[in-house]
Amino acid sequence: MRHILSILLENEAGALSRVVGLFSQRNYNIETLTVAPTEDPSLSRLTLTTSGDDRAIEQMTKQLNKLIEVVKLVNLSEGEHIERDLMLIKVKASGAQRAEIKRCADIFRGQIVDVTSSIYTIQLVGASSKLDAFIEAVGDANILETVRTGVSGLARGEKVLAL
């Protein structure tokens, strides 16, 4: 099963490589990874998606917690949460296709952020599954390039991950 782990990490040189190193050393996989400083400059927030059965995820979270620079960690998938991934996608848009692509982008609430006579660059925000659905709807043949930020997320309601 897919899990979203959200981690508060000391914003120190080498801390990120420890997290990434742990995953390769222990043979866990990382599907997506995003990291950036938080409003408190001494902390980074890292969101990571991975998959595994309950025992594997439990080991992973314990091993992550053991890293000295990991301050706090939560498995967002264990509760109600909001997840967002941002994609920029460059698609062929000429002739009859052009209107079709535009309609498709509208349905998915995408924004066209760059235009040439034959190309649209569309920005899409949502859960990863929504972005996957858009890629499917547009069709591989029309896609020139995609880039995604990877998942970031927060728990719904009052729960917060803070010091």
Asked if 141 is part of the footprint of another protein (rule: CB under 8 A), the reply reads: no
Asked if 25 is part of the footprint of another protein (rule: CB under 8 A), the reply reads: yes
Tokens of 122: 């569309």
Asked if 75 is part of the footprint of another protein (rule: CB under 8 A), the reply reads: no
Sign of torsion over alpha carbons 32, 163, 156, 51: positive
Sign of torsion over alpha carbons 7, 45, 10, 50: positive
Stretch that binds another protein, among 52-60, 102-110, 124-132, 154-162 (CB under 8 A): 52-60
Asked if 59 is part of the footprint of another protein (rule: CB under 8 A), the reply reads: yes
Asked if 18 is part of the footprint of another protein (rule: CB under 8 A), the reply reads: yes
Helix, strand or coil, per DSSP, at residue 38: coil
Stretch that binds another protein, among 67-75, 86-94, 121-129, 134-142 (CB under 8 A): 67-75
Tokens of 154: 């927060």
